[in-house]
Amino acid sequence: MRTLCAGILLVASAAILPAAKNLEVYAIDVEGGQATLIVSPSGESMLVDTGWGGHNKRDAERIAAAAKAAGVKKIDYLVITHYHSDHVGGVAQLAGKMPIRNFVDHGANVEDSKQGQVLFNEYAAFRAKGNHIEVKPGDTIPIKGIEVKVIAAGGKVIDAPLPGAGQAGADCAGFQMHDADPSENAQSVGMLITYGSFRMIDMADLTWNKEKDLVCPVNKIGKVDLYLVSHHGMNMSGSPQWVHALAPKVALMNNGARKGGSPEAWQTVHDAPGTPDVWQLHFAVSAGKEHNSADPFIANVDENCEGKWIRVDAQKDGAFKVYNSRNKYEKAYR
């Protein structure tokens, strides 16, 4: 995706903290890619993907700025969900700005295009300088203070329901299958992140048919508080059965101005049980006002990139609040 500027994230009140008091989640604007910084109450950090490369180091600068705001000086675990340029492209530039200790991924690249191989080889070169962890469904990423359970990786998902789950899926008879997806999207590492009673799910770009295996005929996940909307809000992920099974209180969409944020995906989330609030990194230009959230819930309202982030602060009792760095709007949830 082309952007109209290469601005650096400006962080207001960027106090340097020795460790997070609660679980902190920064959804960083990388213009329709993913870069999600998670800081455990223990102070350990996990970054999910690195956004795009190029753009005058734009995404690496934004990640580094969010890390500074969170008091993070190194990335303890870098999870590369899959090997597409909007997720793995920024590894080299980020590695030039801060240390990365552990590299977590699903293993081999399944795409044989020249561009795909170049991306993977570049990533593998940096991965070789740290500790490599290849995960499979059911594994736990060992971050102190929180539980990070891998529920999808390498084209497979967990076999059995998680504790507290196992309910019948919603409207599974009406599920409409899509064509099989042979791409890296279907290989995405998906995770359930738990801190006490708080539950957050991030499935990266896992596609429609793979989601079905997690919620139909049995919901293997259960309900969540925070749903990082799959695939940037593109309509090749996020079926009604999937979203209804999760029943999130809040959905957070890492879309760009002209990537993701499709009207279908937005409406599906909006229509989920409880009508969850939808927070967006960008106003989706092609979706119109009727399929975008109200101004307070959008971090970047103009197509010109500003790099504003959305932060979630979660407590162990399940209460959490969401903060918009553009307008300082904050809302609490219990």
Average pLDDT in the chain: 93
Euclidean distance between CA atoms 214 and 52, whole angstroms? 29
Euclidean distance between CA atoms 103 and 101, whole angstroms? 7
- 321: pLDDT strictly greater than 90: yes
For the segment 64-68, the average pLDDT, to the nearest whole number, is: 97
- 210: pLDDT strictly greater than 70: yes
- 17: pLDDT strictly greater than 90: no
What beta strand segments (E) does 142-197 contain?
147-153, 156-157, 167-168, 190-195
Tokens 């890492």 -> residue: 254
**Tens digits of residue pLDDT in 140-152:** 999 999 999 999 9
For 297, the token pair is 């819930």
**Tens digits of residue pLDDT in 78-125:** 999 999 999 999 999 999 999 999 999 999 999 999 999 999 999 999
Tokens 């350990």 -> residue: 44
For the segment 226-231, the average pLDDT, to the nearest whole number, is: 98
End-to-end Cα separation, the chain, in angstroms: 37
Residue 19: the pLDDT is: 46
Tokens 């400006």 -> residue: 10
Tokens 């971090």 -> residue: 299
Residue 304: the pLDDT is: 81
For 260, the token pair is 């993701």
For 315, the token pair is 């407590």
Is residue 281 within 8 A of residue 254, CB to CB? The reply is: yes
CATH architecture of 23-325+327-331: 4-Layer Sandwich (3.60)
Nearest-5° Cα angle at 183, 140 to 33: 70
Overall size of the chain counted in residues: 334
Q: What is the pTM of this model?
A: 0.93
For the segment 132-147, the average pLDDT, to the nearest whole number, is: 98
Confidence of residue 305 (pLDDT cuts 50, 70, 90): confident
By the 10 Å C-beta count (0-12 exposed, 13-18 middle, 19+ buried), 20 is classed as: buried
Residue 18: the pLDDT is: 44
